[in-house]
Structure 1
Amino acid sequence: MGATTVLVRTNAMVIPKNMITTANTTKSGCQRKCGNLTIPYPFGIGYNCSFPGSYGFNLICNTSYNPPRAFTSVDGFGDILDITETQTTVRNTFMATLCYDSQGNEISPSGEGLVDYLDIGSSPFTISKTANKLTVIGCNNYGVFDSSGGYIGDHLRVGCISLCSKTEPVPGSCLGGCCQASIPFGSQNFALAVHGISAGGDPESCSYSFYGKLGSFTFGGASDLTRNNFDVVRNKILDQVSIVFDWNVQLNTSCKKVKMSNSSINPYLCQSNTRCIDTAEGGYRCSCLPGYEGNPYLKPGCTDINECIAGPNNPCTTFCVNTPGSFICFCSDGYTGDGLSSGIGCIRITDKSSFLTIAIKIFTIDELERATDHFNEDRILGKGGQGTVYKGMLSEGKIVAIKMCKVVDQNQCGDFVNEVIILSNINHRNIVKLLGCCLEHETPLQVFEYIPNGTLDHHIHSPSSEFQITWRMRLQIASDLAGALAYLHSSSSIPIFHRDIKSSNILLDDKYRAKLSDFGTSKSVAIDQTHATTRVMGTFGYLDPEYYQLGQYTEKSDVYSFGVVLVELLT
């Protein structure tokens, strides 16, 4: 047989340009920078330069500073220090303070006082619960972060107590005279408070409670606690500490809702070649699909990355063909492999009888989106560790099962390629048929024949009261599975070890005949090869004990797993 041409979907090795670094960062004719800060749309400076759906995106560039500083229209915000695809960092202006005079009586030497507030309701911002911390410095005081925006009432609160021992507080640490607490919830408003543990405090001392970016403040030790240094410490906090906010295009909505209500008044902002992301804050953001780059909020949307012109970072060892959102690596005649610089590359074929070829249909993402109503949740047949399976109907009316693989690393991408190679060379009535695949989506997609009656595992372990498989059906299923294994081991063009025989990988068709599925970890071997030495893989309970101990997989290992399925069928 000829050399293998492996089609593979991987992440690009060139660095994609995001909404900050791409050429079309802002709307046409709008100011790109304010001082050192790049302003990406949906943020903007000036008339018709920002997304009108939220007042928080409209920025003002104050040129009285050198360099100029950008401010949002949200009340109380300091100047913006950074904008990323998901977060905005703002200079801190919020702090609660408490000082004691020479008699230990409480005083408030500045405008902050015991409590300070921030309320950013109706803006696109929420306080990041992962990037910030509550910090309290002082002796025998406690600080409170209240997510309500008010201090009294039944609200979500977090606090910590700052104690001073006989040992002098150590600068740079937060062990004595300092404490910190994480905030386990996001919010659009909060109140900060600082109080003494008991009546009266250390004479001529001060305490501070503030919320800000983790690591942005360095505690100065005992000198930060004296009343004489109040102005120095207060200014240090205001100068050093920033707050990180998560931003959404809109809050209190979802991708599904905003798509349905898309209009000129409330437009859906995700452009071509993007995906909509429902966020934990209860809103949505847009992102370029893998293999694309640009600002996902501006027309014409994200554009294809040509990975094949990456110079020394070219992902392929020999031939590279750019495709929309991806690329294809292939090898010259007489060579085989994945063609990837990061993979096995291209290897000269010395024994042509030990290699397989691919001959399947390549579907477009448009075809599969139409078939599944844009991967509607109502079309989901099942979910598992390898991905989600959808029921679909192709344009010619054929019902199919479409598997959206859950690729999170190169190994799982290899499982996808392996399954495509093996199933494209198999033709047996008791093995599920692979109809094709799609490489244009952010994760690989496989198209299989539709098997209507689910898995054997479901019928054995969660039987329906209305229908149960009979003994005759059970014996037929066992015979079908034995025939499939005999074909894989002895009758296919190249012997194949399945390596994951179990009842959940056996599907039942409309006549309750068995169809073996899931060949992601399967392995083809040379005709005269008796075993394969591999990392132990499979499902405990079905795993051959000798394989588990020695790491050598043989056709008898498949037969052992088949025996476990027989026990399930007969008991």
Structure 2
Amino acid sequence: MVRRGCQAECGVVKIPYPFGIGRGCFLPGFDIACNTITNGSKVPLIGHGNIEVLNISLVDGLMQVKHFIAHDCYDGRGKRLRRNSPWMELGRTRSIRFSDTRNKFVAIGCDTRGYLTDMNRTFWTGCVSYCNNTSFVTNGTCSGIGCCETKIPKGLRNFTVELNSFHNHTYCSSFSPCSYAFLADSSFSFNASDFLTFRNVQMMPVTLEWAVGNKSCEEARGKKGYACVDVNSKCYDSTTVKGYHCNCSQGYEGNPYLPGGCQGAGSGFLFLCASLSWLYWILSKRRLIKLKEKFFQQNGGLLLQHHISSSIDDGRNDSIMRIYTSEELQRATNDYDDDCIIGQGGFGTVYKGTLSDQRVVAIKKSKIAAKGEIEQFINEVLLLSSINHKNVVKLLGCCLETQVPLLVFEFMSNGTLSHHIHDQGRRDSLSLENRLRIAAEAAEALAYLHSSLSTPIIHRDVKSTNILLDDSYTAKVSDFGTSRLVPFDRNCLTSLVRGTIGYLDPEYFQSGQFTDKSDVYGFGVVLIELLTGEKALSMNKSEEHRSLVKRFISCMNEGRLCEILDGRVRREGSMEQLMAVAELAERCLRLNGDERPTMREVATELQGMRMFTEHPWVGEEIEPLLAEPLLSEPAFYGVGHTTSDGDSSYSGLVPFNITR
């Protein structure tokens, strides 16, 4: 592909003759400089030595090079932060030009005027792009809303790009703080995410057309300097640039610009195979794009974009979630490699992934209901993304370009609570103090979901595997795959029974009606798991010991609590303290939901128990004040204990008997 003794490539780019590196290795005007850059790699350059070559095609007479993008950025208050006006000029030969059929001038931004002119300013062309929110922006089109484009002049050999704005981006700074303008290959497709991602993009590819000489084939043939020197080559007049091209005759392949460069090797068949493969790749890519667009709309993407745009317009930036592309999450999980799986359940598979910014996240392939519930799904996703509670796993964003929506959560490095209390070798890893703290944190999260949001959330699958632990072992409630929003004017909702056997509220199982007390029952099971170290359901045990709840209730009724307690729990806690926790769990597990405490009451009681565990002197200080009433009252007062007149106390200060 090159003259004998000449350099065949520079870095990763092949340099075929008539282009070449060094004296005697190229035709006039086709010289390439091979420069070493700061990281030690080599890049080919043309023009005035500043245009990087990406690819050279002999067959098509094309060359792809890089050029700088124009940026014009503001800080949100109208102050300009950055602006450049890049220019580009080709070399001495007049046979290399910017392709007017394969390139277009593009400007991106919501407050943007982009101009293209030549060095002598003999012409001006450009376009305007404007918008004050993203709801009207359409991906894939540059019609003037967020993105605009125009054709470039024929025969262009140099240009300068300039940018201006109408209002210094003050009306769109939250989602479009910059303007961008550049020559783009005709395959370039605009995406609304370009408003922000292009801030870090410095260069774009652009296509050049080239031809040999400045004569037609007929004028040049037989004359000195005629370039189609191989006997199996043919000459073709260029239709775009003054001059001609050389190609190998049918059945031959190689370099027609070199003697003996065209050789027969079944090239026609190979070319056919290559063409068919290329055509198949193009069609497959188009089908994939259409399929992703279909899934995006089917999964409520347009509705979600509208909500996000409304949040931006209303200034509610704290509730904005990220919409990820399928490619981003595919790369993050190494194409959903099995080694990245960190959890599986009835409502999805969870993968550990690393995003491009090196953030580690949990990516869940969710399963949602029929199309008719898309609006409810989007509303629930938006609500979950706005939850900002230290004991609830944060929803960071989602991807709707796949058949099954993908949800992206913050990653919890210490796994599930179940892992720490049930797995072999870890059963004694948590102290009683940590167990009470984790229980109190999980209860606080559920209480927040039930009573502190504008629209309450019932989790419907409270269990130890859905309570995660972060780096510092802080508890965070996760997995809202079965959750439902409950309007304040509805006491309960009816649905197909969903949940996990062993944690399922018997009242809900029988009636199909779930309330916040259904979550209280599931939490009661978690509480006795923490006390006993046993699983909620053990199929390998005898029938009478298979259900942890039944065994626990039996032990409580017969005064045999010690038999079922975990060894470390029994060693570290007093019987009064453990009995208080057990009685709280027993109340959570009552068959009648109305007799169970609320999650707010449970959280208050557990916080009181933690206070006594951490500061046992509290009981000693208040003992003299309560000594006289204790003489006439029953010996034991648990938190939330009901007195003889039916009154209840949830002060949280006296979790068990304070007398010594």
Q: TM-score, normalised by structure 1?
A: 0.41
Which of the two has higher C-alpha Rg? 2
Please identify which structure carries the higher helix content.
Answer: 2
